[in-house]
Amino acid sequence: MANLGKRKGNLSLSSSANLLAHKAVFRLLTMVRPPRGRPVRLGPESRVLVFSTAGLGDSLLDSAGIHALASEYPGIHIQAVVHHRRTDMARHNPLLEKLHFLRKGPHAFLALWWRLRNHGPWDAVLYFSCHDPEVRCLGYLLAPDVTIGLTWRTEMPWLCAKNIDEPGLRRAHLALQAVRVAAEAGATTTRARMVYCVAAEDRVALDKTLAGLGFPLRPGVTFQLGGGGGPHRDWPVGHFLKLAELTNAAGIGPIFLLGGPDHRKKADEFSAAASSRNIPFFDVVGRLPLPQSAALLERSRCLVSTDTGIMHLAFAIGSPTIALLHCSPGDARVGPLADRDRHVVIELPKPAGYRVPSDASMSNLQPEDVFAGLKKVFFRNA
């Protein structure tokens, strides 16, 4: 653990040094050539570069901004810079013409700048969920006068021609924030819809994986065991186990456990207890790459998940979902926007004296209440 703490400390110091270096260099550049904002006028033949370099859920929420642009200007050429670990998300967005991958280091920075320069010129550069200093610096070098972003998502707002910071927007749904950035580039829709298209080959690959494991090809209920954004968002394994008991007793199934390799410990805990109580389930935790997980969600009768990237993936696909949300950030910021009639949101209320997220425990969401929502979704979509 000491080595882990040391490594995290070194990473933090490295990130701070990286930010300071970018700030120093680009402060000097903007003294010579500051961004001079000009109106962005797009059309069907325009070329737009979007930066979306955050996590799985954020990448999906950002796709609402891409959808808004593509809806406004059919045929528009949209390319995206994404984190090199998020390629699966972007490749399943048919609205994107080309992908470019963000990596760290000066050589990677220069190579990416050269590649993006050759794919320009750009009529607009939009910053969605991205906090890396390289992102704002690249946009400045490519098209400084047509860069658009949210003020609070960068420590270098002076590199951006148009910083959006409207009253209430910081507390708005994250997908609507992406749509607002797109609106500054001319999109007029107020409807936020995330985009993820399951590919035929992903369905075939999933069938092969499940058949190889001897599992059914279609889950009844899928449990996403792990949370995202901190342990305060997690629902206890014991509560999932009780929900499985109620689900099994009602003849609802089969139950699938879903999650990444980092959720293996929770899956093993669930497995040991469920096996001792003769609760049938099928464990695919850590066994499915993201595209196959999406294919599994597509055919699942319903998903039970906390605030995770998988939850947002289910929203994007249209899979019925029971969303177990902590009061921070809550339904207003991360809940379903489209197809709300297909989902059930169960939100943890803020307790008296609430100050920080850890003051409210997800264990207070009772399995019986979640089961009531599960039955509503399961039988409505029967």
What value does the mean pLDDT take over residues 39-45? 95
Last residue of a domain, one of 133, 158, 184: 184
Is the residue at 12 inside a domain? no
**Of the listed ranges 88-92, 176-180, 372-376, the one predicted with least confidence:** 88-92
Residue 228 binned pLDDT confidence (cut-offs 50, 70, 90)? low
Domain stops at, among 184, 213, 245: 184
Does one domain contain both 374 and 226?
yes
Check whether residue 250 and residue 119 sit in a common domain.
no
Give the predicted TM-score (pTM) of the model: 0.92
The per-residue DSSP string of 335-355 comes to S--S-GGG-EEEEPPPPTT--
Question: Where does the pLDDT of residue 8 fall: very low under 50, low under 70, confident under 90, or very high at 90 and above?
Answer: very low
| Residue 171: inside a domain | yes
Write down which residue in 128, 156, 184 finishes a domain. 184
3-state secondary structure of 147: strand
- Residue 120 included in any domain: yes
Confirm whether 169 is domain-assigned: yes
Residue 211 within any structural domain of the chain = yes
For helices 2-32 and 133-142, the axis angle rounded to 10 degrees is 20
CATH of the domain at 62: 3.40.50.2000
The token pair that represents 257 in the structure block: 């456990």
Q: Return all residues near 74 (Cβ < 8 A) that are at least 6 apart.
A: 44
List the alpha helices (DSSP H) in the chain.
Answer: 2-32, 56-72, 87-91, 106-119, 133-142, 174-184, 200-213, 237-249, 264-276, 290-299, 309-317, 331-334, 367-380
Please check whether residues 239 and 347 belong to one and the same domain.
yes
Residue 3 covered by a domain: no
Once rounded to an integer, what is the mean pLDDT over residues 104-128? Answer: 96
Which pLDDT tens digit goes with each residue over 257-312? 999 999 999 999 999 999 999 999 999 999 999 999 999 999 999 999 999 999 99
265 in the same domain as 169: no
Q: Which domain holds residue 213?
A: 200-380
Do 167 and 212 have their domain in common?
no
Helix (H) or strand (E) holding 101: strand 98-102
Residues 47 and 155 in one domain: yes
Residue 182, SS3 per DSSP: helix
Residues shown for the chain: 382
Identify whether 14 is part of a domain: no
Q: 215 and 140: one domain?
A: no
Burial of 329 (0-12, 13-18, 19+ CB in 10 A): middle
Q: What is the pLDDT at residue 85?
A: 82
Q: Is residue 155 part of a domain?
A: yes
| Tally of domains within the chain | 2
Which range (60-69, 78-87, 108-117, 311-320) has the least confidence?
78-87
- Report which residue type is found at 329: P
Residue 230 binned pLDDT confidence (cut-offs 50, 70, 90): confident
